[in-house]
Chains A and B, each alone.
Chain A
Amino acid sequence: MTPKNQVWIIARREFTERSKSRVFRGVLVGLSLLIIMGIFGVSLLVGRSDTTSLGVGGDSLAGLVDEIEAAAEAIGADVVVIEYPTVDSATQAVESGDVEAALVDGHTIVSMSGPSGTVASIFSSASHVAVRRQVASELGLTEADVDSLLAPVQIDLVQLEPEEPEEPNQEARAVASFMSALVLLTTIMMFGQFVAMGIVEEKQNRIVEVILSRAKASSLVIGKVLGIGALGLVQVGVLGLAAVIGLMLAPLPELDGLDITSVGLTAVFWLIFWFVLGYLLYSFMYATVGATISRQEDMQSVAFIPAISIMPAYLMMVFSIEAGPGPWIRIASFVPLWSPILMPFRINTGDAPLWEVAVAVLLVILTIAALVRVGSRVYRGAALRTGARVSLLDAWRSGRKTVVTK
């Protein structure tokens, strides 16, 4: 029997016993469905095309509808023109929102609160053309002459102050980054708390003495963290896949050359990657503080420690969405306690060079290694102390391993 085998056996028990929980399974299935349906719903809203509905009513010249469509096409607008028999019916259509604006009697634009510039220019150019086309035909010009006379002039735009070359899905990326950071935050805290609860539970049940008489304290802590973490990984993985499936199924608007599945899978990869690191870091912190209490009722008095450690990362992320990325979020993303939230956020928003990610990962791993030692020692010192809360320092002192002989 080696400590490694015991870690494996302990982790396996944590995983299998907890995965039997109906609550866990129910939550997993429910959340997956929620994500798929959510993506579906959002895409229906977002996916609606930019087509503008316009109305035509009253006495108007023949061919006006064609001219409106041609005028819209000339400036690249996507319009649908609906004809109404009377001025009143066209006005009603505007009131009810069926059309954005209507051109009545060939010269009046009806709209709720003033037509947009685009709509106004489409209507005015269309009615000009229609009138001229009629005058030209009355003058006896041939169809071809009229067409060449009225051919629209192609206008090129020169911008002296060009806008930022904004990515078409910049906003979507920000939302996705925020969502995945939120998933990370909640799952890290949720499964970290499971670790603390599991440790307290074993103290409360007193089984800890039975286990520690045949396994090392560090094996029990590490096994527990890994077993519960594997369960967390299953949850994050399943939810991530649910999101990818949702993206594949949903009727998304055409995005030029963007492979939504591969983008989704990349995001899921980073999500899982940072979940593993963040979970390991925080679960050992939860294990350490959980070891110092003996009753679930005392949980609140210690669980705030990891909670206030991770919260600044969340707040900074929210702030950076509002204010835009600043140098401070770059610095903060190197703080091991905050990296698991801020680094994936920066990766998703696209401003984290690979070397920065690598440095942050290294720092997080070093912190985890330190927390494993601290956690195991505190646990050894406090596992059999029941009753009142044991101070961390006290547990640390009595957790020393070396036996002084003679």
Chain B
Amino acid sequence: MADSGQRSTIRSMLSVRNISKRYGDVVAMDDVSFDVRPGRILGFLGRNGAGKTTTMRSIFKLVQPDSGDVTYNGQPIELAQLVRFGYMPEERGLYPRMKVRDQLVYLASLSGMNTTDARSSTDMWLERLGLGDRMDAKLEDLSHGNQQRVQMAAAIVHDPDLLVLDEPFSGLDPIGVDSMSDVIREFASKGAGILFSSHQLDLVEHICEDVAIIDQGEVILIGDLNEIREEASYRRVLIEVDGQLWAPPVNGAHEVGTGGKRHHIVDASVDVEELLHLARGAGSITRFSYETPALSDIFQEAVVT
């Protein structure tokens, strides 16, 4: 897996180029462009109705953009490409009365796996997701959480090279969130490209490597999440001296938050060493944190401005 320093030289796997779509007066996508690279996890963030689902459907040709195009390894998206993708639609759905194992084998076969591989892959994933003893159960007889696990398996059972997951964490319990995160990381480490959408920013903060923020159909911020955070104009500091919140005496520092979440914002140019030095001068330091802005901060700023 390539580190972020080499990122810009990594070839693009999925290229979304200038796609636009309008439904009457509603602009669903406005000149949307981004790349999904092998081994990288791209978080596609936006509020409800920002255009995430329309964009993802465009990748699968489920929506025909008015203009622009989508390519995969330089090729237009045809059946040969589609069957190498794994898709988890926002609207979850499987056959309620079909046995779990049968439908996963069916979906894997449909994506071009031979029956033997489809069976062994199905069994492997069902075991891993803790459904080994429910393979022959009908989907409708499973609990909601287990149905979500089967839905996840449906997206990955054919061992795709590209995962497109629309709100993969919605409706999952904390354990489900963890196993979904594990699956995403595992596929990325095998070199698969991953695009997933979410509006739950705190949940996906530690999974995204790259982010693309979409608002009203337009991509308004895109890039490596760590770089974006580094490039922010401010830092969050939380310093307690003798158990009390301490206000850093630097230019432009101001207090934000309420109650237990109170902390300060300082200019990014403020040196950490200098802050530490000043705090030591004020008394005994009981707490010290200095952080780049959270994903939610970046999102708020990008969307509001």
Contact = CB atoms under 8 A, between A and B. Distances in A.
Asked if A and B bind, the verdict is yes
Interface of A: 1-3, 5-6, 9-10, 13, 17, 205-216, 384, 386, 398, 400, 403-406
B68 A405 contact: yes
Nearest to A386: B91
Interface of B: 57, 60-69, 79-80, 82-83, 85, 87, 89, 91-98, 102, 106-107, 109-112, 154
Given A209-B93, A405-B67, A405-B69, A214 B62 contact: no
B158 to A, nearest CB: 8
B95 A213 contact: no
A171 to B, nearest CB: 47
B93 A214 contact: no
Given A214-B83, A403-B64, A405-B68, A9 B110 contact: yes
Given A6-B110, A205-B95, A213 B89 contact: yes
A205 B107 CA distance: 15
Given A1-B79, A212-B62, A213-B89, A207 B94 contact: yes
A384 B57 contact: yes
A9 B63 CA distance: 25
B89 A214 contact: no
Contacts of A210: 87, 89, 93-94, 107, 154
24 contacts: A1-B79, A1-B111, A1-B112, A6-B110, A9-B106, A9-B109, A17-B95, A17-B98, A17-B102, A205-B94, A206-B91, A206-B93, A209-B57, A209-B62, A209-B93, A210-B94, A211-B110, A213-B62, A213-B82, A214-B107, A384-B57, A403-B61, A403-B64, A403-B65
Contacts of B66: 404
Contacts, number: 81
Given A9-B106, A209-B91, A214 B64 contact: no
A5 B106 CA distance: 12
A384 to B, nearest CB: 6
Nearest to B63: A384
A206 B151 CA distance: 12
A313 B66 CA distance: 44
Given A209-B87, A403-B69, A404-B66, 17 more contacts: A1-B80, A1-B111, A2-B79, A6-B110, A9-B109, A10-B110, A205-B96, A206-B91, A209-B93, A210-B87, A211-B107, A212-B62, A213-B85, A214-B111, A384-B62, A403-B61, A405-B68
Top 7 A-B pairs ranked by shortest CB distance? A206-B93, A1-B112, A213-B87, A209-B89, A207-B93, A206-B91, A213-B60
